[in-house]
Chain A
Amino acid sequence: MTRYILERFASLILVLFAVSIIVFTLMHSVPGGPFDESKGRLPPAAKENILRKYGLDKPVWQQYLNYMSHALRFDFGIPYQQPQTTVAKLIGKTWAVTVQVGLMTILVAFSLGIFAGMYAAYHQNSWIDNVVTFTATLGVTVPNFVVAMWFILFFAVARQWLPMGGWSSSGQCLIGNYLCTDWILPVIAYALAPMAIVARYTRASIVDVKRADYVRTARAKGVSERVVMRRHVFRNAQIPMVTALGTEIPNLITGSIFIESIFRINGLGKFFVTSTLNRDYPMIMATFLLVALLWGITYMLTDIAYTWIDPRVRLGSKGEG
């Protein structure tokens, strides 16, 4: 297992290099640049000054080598959007909040989604199943910024039950600055779509396994329904669930521009969009590398989770056939 993990890390480094080259090439091949004039034509000298200041006057290959030589020392440069700080500091500050939001969302989405999916699968084709299926479809199809605005207009403006934004700024928290009332709306709005996906996958996996021969055999042998469900159905349904649901995690912990901006959360989510729109090359590179890293780690953990769920799975062993 250790060897397998080390191999995966080695391949992850190669993936990160490949991503860096692709992203760097793409962002420099798009017409325009970070300091294109929006109003008047910049005097050539002023434009040259700006390009020189940020090292953009050099050939692209040289810019790439400069960037990567610094990145290998964890120096990801100065964000053009906020030149008074560094990319590392900016990501460190904002991502900490985004991870909090993401973890809360994962907790809510996965616990409620798995419960709803299991319940629907257990009561397949009942009205409960229909309600869960309908709600799951709605959760996936209605964008979270629409849900967010509905929540704000109803719970904050019309009823004034909950604060309309902030993150730990309401002063009404259960523990210190954690579990605050201003967490409720963003987490639920953010969790609805993944919860729907989780519920649908859970239901589909369980329904699939419920029809398997070994489940029918277990029932025929007189095993109780509870034991059948726990030992045979849920356990075997976990592999497709982990495969599908693991990929939701990197999405959730890298934030959403809509949820974060609408609910006044000063997180990382907006930088994925604003960095691209503003051609903030250092931030684009850093955010893409972060996402690539998270995806790589998530896939690795998913593979490791297979061995835990199903002992027949052996990682790193060569196939016999």
Chain B
Amino acid sequence: MKTKTYGWLGRVLALTTAFALLLGFGLAQNTTILGVELPADAVPYDEQVLRVPCDNTRNENTFDFPVGVYTRFDCIEELFQDTLVDLDKDFNVIPASAESWSVAEDGRTWTFKLHEGLVWSDGTPLTAYDYEATFQLTASPEMAWDFAWFYSFIGEGGIENWGEIIAGELPVEELGVRAIDDLTLEVVTKGVFPPLPGVMNFAHVMQKKALEEHGPFYNNDPATSVSSGPYVLVEFDPGNRIVVEANPMYRGYRPPNLKRIEGIYMSPATYFAAFQNGEIDRVPYERLTPADFAIIESDPVLSANYLRHFGDFRTDYLLFDTFNPPFDDLNVRKAFAMAVDRESIVANVFGGEIKAMPAHSMLMPGYPSSDTEGALAGFQRFDCDAARQHLADAGYPGGDGFPAQEMWLRAEAPAMAAVYQASAASIAQCLDIDIQVSNKDNKVYMDALNAKPTQLELGAVSYGMDFLDPANLLGIWVSTGRHSWQNDEFDRIVAEASNLVGNPVLRDQMFRDAERILVDDVGGVFIAHRWQGDLWQPYVLGDTLREPDATGISGKHWSVDELWSDLYIRADQ
């Protein structure tokens, strides 16, 4: 009897102890809704909330890239789906929704294999048919997608029949993107295009069923929104607030640490004040004024949490009409290239190395095939004496007889207009010539630039990459592009390198050779590469954000969507 009693009591005691231990263990564990354990210094999961500012002066109408690229709610984006591929912090293409990809012998037919088990937040399996429907949506003439230019712009990388379909000459079913089965997507390009996997970082997905039932804006209403990404929409009051929460059905490659992200609409003019007030956790660099930067640089905590990054590898440069005098003379172009005091402009007009670095070529160091060694720096260095000599050699000694120039800007905001004005002033002062700066309407500028023959004799502009391959940023300089500069050797090398498969070392060297021609023949005068960045609250952590890349740069890198997985809020906030 006694033994029995002890046995019964013992079992109850053991069960109670086990339950208590389990409960205690569970309480001690700080895990996400997907069962991922948070770092030891994280606040409890319920408090894992990131607050980001949303620009209340922007015109936005969609969360989805396939609906409108330039009208997305840009404070909360890329969270309701995973693209086919992602980039790691060193800009290597890594699997995302696709676990693998391969190209057929024709070099044009790419096959992407999706991960098994991916589902939408409503429980529907995510399949290749969703990707097919999304591509067809973007190509449909009725959709009139604002990014439709892209798949024409990338030439050989353009998707088969893209142009004919957006023109309404072929049905969308003829598009070169086809679901072979639930997990296999085939993408056929017009020609051989090695960087295609990286371009598939733009391959977002929308749910075929939701598109059919609710149309392309289904994600604008929490009631109809479905997500295959790490977050789901729970509250949407455009102009006031957006709230997304971790998607409990998420099975993808970037399970989120954060429980919730809140987008708070405010004027960009008040971002920094709101940040100082502790109302938001991040301010992007373009919303920080020179006065804000002065405060940041003088404050050790703020400056330690301003994380510079490459952004879209944007370069500011001057362009010419090299088909007509005076810029058809290489000496004139070299004179201009050597008359720009880049170091002074970066230090005094940009506001220092926190915002830009002097540029001597098109590709910002860090971009594939860029001149990280500085081998091209000599071609377009600041050397006023050499510049004067080049101008004299062109027949304009001391600037005598050089026609007065008007440098056009493309609807630049005051800060960037000042950079270009300083460049014009540097040239005018060094060469003793007359340059007026005129800030034009975007339409007027682009019409003049794109006209054949060009109507833009001298202009200033910036360009950031569209995809991470030198074929992009050097491709815009080929003679069929927007610039009125032609070098047959450059054209040949870029064309060959762009389509070269199987020899990445040779391809890299070819692009380097091409860039050398560009700077030596002065297709453009390169002024500065812009550093971009974000100011973060010190309690927002995450390896993808805080750890430096291979070149020592930390921060939120362009299109590295994995960032949203490991961000978390530290406990000592």
**Residues of chain A whose beta carbon lies under 8 Å from any beta carbon of chain B:** 31-33, 35-46, 48-50, 52-53, 81-84, 94, 145, 149, 152-153, 156-157, 160, 164-165, 169, 257, 260-264, 266, 270, 274, 278, 280
Which of A46, A49, A153, A261 gathers the greatest number of chain B CB atoms within 10 Å?
Answer: A46
B269–A264 contact, CB under 8 A? no
B217–A84 contact, CB under 8 A? yes
A43–B144 contact, CB under 8 A? no
A154 to nearest B CB, angstroms? 11
From B26-34, B113-121, B270-278, B534-542, the one touching the partner chain is B270-278
Report how far A83 CA is from B150 CA in the complex, Å: 22
Given contacts A32-B443, A261-B269, contact A94 B239 (CB under 8 A): yes
The number of chain B residues with a CB under 8 A from chain A is 48
B273–A157 contact, CB under 8 A? yes
B57–A274 contact, CB under 8 A? yes
Across the interface, name the chain B residue whose C-beta is closest to A50.
B144
A46–B441 contact, CB under 8 A? no
A37–B265 contact, CB under 8 A? no
From B84-92, B161-169, B245-253, B486-494, the one touching the partner chain is B161-169
Asked if B152 lies at the interface with its beta carbon under 8 angstroms from chain A, I say yes
Asked if B149 lies at the interface with its beta carbon under 8 angstroms from chain A, I say yes
What are 29 contact pairs spanning A and B, CB under 8 A?
A32-B442, A37-B149, A38-B446, A43-B163, A43-B167, A46-B144, A49-B143, A49-B168, A50-B144, A52-B141, A81-B59, A82-B59, A82-B60, A82-B238, A84-B220, A152-B270, A153-B273, A157-B276, A164-B273, A164-B279, A165-B274, A261-B57, A261-B266, A261-B269, A262-B269, A264-B265, A264-B267, A266-B56, A266-B239
Contact of B56 among A40, A42, A270 (CB under 8 A): A270
B266–A165 contact, CB under 8 A? yes
Asked if B444 lies at the interface with its beta carbon under 8 angstroms from chain A, I say yes
Contact of A261 among B56, B149, B150, B220 (CB under 8 A): B56
- Interface 1/0 per residue, B252-267 and A, CB below 8 Å: 0000000000001111
Given contacts A31-B441, A84-B217, A169-B240, contact A264 B56 (CB under 8 A): yes
Asked if B479 lies at the interface with its beta carbon under 8 angstroms from chain A, I say no
Asked if B153 lies at the interface with its beta carbon under 8 angstroms from chain A, I say yes
A42–B149 contact, CB under 8 A? yes
Contact of B267 among A52, A84, A156, A261 (CB under 8 A): A261
Residues of B within 8 A of A152 (CB): 270, 273
If A38-B70, A262-B269, A264-B56 are given as contacts, then 14 extra A-B residue pairs at C-beta distance below 8 Å, sorted by A number, are A31-B443, A40-B150, A43-B167, A49-B142, A49-B148, A49-B168, A81-B59, A152-B273, A157-B276, A164-B273, A257-B57, A262-B270, A264-B266, A270-B57
Residues of A within 8 A of B429 (CB): none
Report how far A94 CA is from B150 CA in the complex, Å: 35
In the A-B complex, the 8 residue pairs with the closest CB atoms: A45-B167, A266-B239, A32-B443, A81-B59, A261-B267, A46-B148, A50-B144, A49-B144
B315 to nearest A CB, angstroms? 15
Residues of A within 8 A of B264 (CB): 264
A interface SS class: loop
Residues of B within 8 A of A264 (CB): 56, 240, 264-267, 270
A82–B61 contact, CB under 8 A? yes
Residues of B within 8 A of A43 (CB): 148-149, 152, 163, 166-167
Asked if B438 lies at the interface with its beta carbon under 8 angstroms from chain A, I say no
Contact of B153 among A40, A164, A266 (CB under 8 A): A40
Residues of B within 8 A of A156 (CB): 273, 277
- Interface 1/0 per residue, B216-240 and A, CB below 8 Å: 0100100000000000000001111
Residues of B within 8 A of A260 (CB): 56
Residues of B within 8 A of A278 (CB): 59
Residues of A within 8 A of B143 (CB): 49
Residues of B within 8 A of A50 (CB): 144, 146
Residues of A within 8 A of B279 (CB): 164
Residues of B within 8 A of A44 (CB): 167
Across the interface, name the chain B residue whose C-beta is closest to A42.
B149
A36–B240 contact, CB under 8 A? no
Residues of A within 8 A of B446 (CB): 36-38, 41
Contact of A164 among B59, B145, B274 (CB under 8 A): B274
B447 to nearest A CB, angstroms? 8
B270–A45 contact, CB under 8 A? no
Asked if B450 lies at the interface with its beta carbon under 8 angstroms from chain A, I say yes
